[in-house]
């Protein structure tokens, strides 16, 4: 009994310091409810900068920058899931890669689907969307009241929406997808916006989709997210699989990190002479100690 009490006390102290010092919230994991950012840090992704990046939007990632070995922080496997404990529950994993140049943001998305270009008709389709935070104070992947931002403190969210039906353009096509926006009370009039997101898509029948997206970093459209600041851009994604819009898998909240490494490199460079000096002094001290030992 004494051993159990000591073990319990030790675990209690460990938990206390974990919560107090690290600020770790005590939450229970439960799919589909609440802001996942309350339970774990937001995962950040770093886009590879390639000044000469150009793309042939055909949904075929033949461009060398997609496989650039330097892009270790810009390629991720992202899990998405539909509502837990429902008949339509499913989990899917998307391979996601970001690349930028001085004018464009490029995104590569690849995922498995065993029923490509669904022919079910009605509102059933395959598809992909991104929700990018524009100015929502407490942006989250969890939209408690649907596509409105009032529970998050108001503000706007930029929505990129691509869908695929049996009547969609042929395999390898390139075109503009829907580019919409919603805010405090819901969706804005789509006629207020211009579609700025161009996609190229391809599929291997009943196996997988590959989507390439291209968007200018700056569009000067008030309903678009503008990638012109050195900051984190929060977003989340959704995938439709032979379903309606309400029946889809979503990701948790992520952030695209467009802060530059130059400042960090400058800081690191500042310490180079200091480290050199410390090393030099240490060598001198060691030599002198050896001389003293030798003399004795």
Reported as a single tens digit per residue, the pLDDT across 10-50 is 333 332 333 232 332 222 223 344 455 555 678 899 999 99
Average pLDDT over residues 169-185: 95
Q: Is the pLDDT of residue 177 over 50?
A: yes
Q: Is the pLDDT of residue 88 over 80?
A: no
Higher-pLDDT residue of 2, 112: 112
Please report the pLDDT score of residue 131 as a whole number: 96
Please report the pLDDT score of residue 248 as a whole number: 76
Higher-pLDDT residue of 272, 42: 42
Show the CA angle centred on residue 68, arms to residues 67 and 74, nearest 5°.
Answer: 90
| Highest mean pLDDT (candidates 100-114, 257-271, 282-296) | 100-114
Please report the pLDDT score of residue 2 as a whole number: 43
Please state the pTM of the whole predicted model: 0.74
Q: Is the pLDDT of residue 266 over 50?
A: no
Average pLDDT over residues 250-271: 64
242 close to 132: Cβ distance less than 8 angstroms: no
d(CA 58, CA 102): 22
Which pLDDT band holds residue 71 (cuts at 50, 70, 90)? confident
* pLDDT tens-digit map of 189-222: 999 999 999 999 999 999 999 999 999 999 999 9
Domain boundaries, the chain: 1-30, 37-260
Average pLDDT, the chain: 77
* pLDDT tens-digit map of 231-250: 999 999 999 887 665 567 88
Which pLDDT band holds residue 106 (cuts at 50, 70, 90)? very high
Which pLDDT band holds residue 142 (cuts at 50, 70, 90)? confident
CATH code for the domain defined by 37-260: 2.60.40.1190
* pLDDT tens-digit map of 111-140: 999 888 876 666 678 899 999 999 999 998
């Amino acid at each position: 009994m004494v051993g159990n009490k000591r073990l319990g006390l030790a675990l209690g102290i460990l938990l206390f310091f974990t919560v107090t010092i690290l600020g770790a919230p005590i939450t229970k994991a439960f799919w589909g409810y609440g802001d996942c950012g309350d339970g774990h840090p937001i995962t950040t992704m770093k886009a590879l900068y390639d000044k000469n990046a150009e793309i042939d939007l055909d949904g075929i990632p033949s461009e060398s920058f997609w496989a650039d070995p330097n892009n270790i922080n810009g390629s991720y496997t992202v899990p998405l899931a539909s509502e837990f404990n429902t008949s339509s529950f499913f989990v899917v994993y998307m391979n996601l890669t970001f690349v930028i140049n001085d004018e464009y943001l490029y995104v590569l998305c690849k995922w498995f689907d065993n029923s490509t270009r669904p022919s079910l008709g009605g509102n059933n389709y395959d598809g992909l969307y991104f929700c990018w935070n524009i100015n929502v104070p407490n942006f989250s992947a969890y939209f408690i009241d649907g596509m409105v931002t009032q529970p998050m403190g108001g503000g706007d969210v930029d929505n990129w929406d691509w869908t695929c039906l049996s009547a969609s353009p042929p395999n390898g096509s390139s075109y503009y997808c829907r580019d919409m926006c919603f805010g405090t009370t819901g969706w804005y009039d789509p006629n207020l916006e211009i579609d700025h997101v161009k996609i190229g898509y391809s599929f291997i029948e009943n196996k997988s989709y590959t989507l390439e997206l291209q968007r200018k970093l700056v569009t000067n459209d008030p309903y678009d997210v503008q990638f012109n600041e050195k900051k984190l851009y929060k977003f989340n994604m959704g995938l439709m699989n032979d379903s309606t819009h309400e029946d889809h898998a979503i990701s948790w909240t992520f952030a695209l990190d467009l802060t530059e490494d130059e400042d960090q490199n400058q800081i690191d460079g500042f310490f180079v002479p200091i480290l050199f000096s410390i090393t030099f002094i240490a060598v001198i001290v060691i030599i002198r100690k050896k001389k003293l030992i030798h003399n004795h």
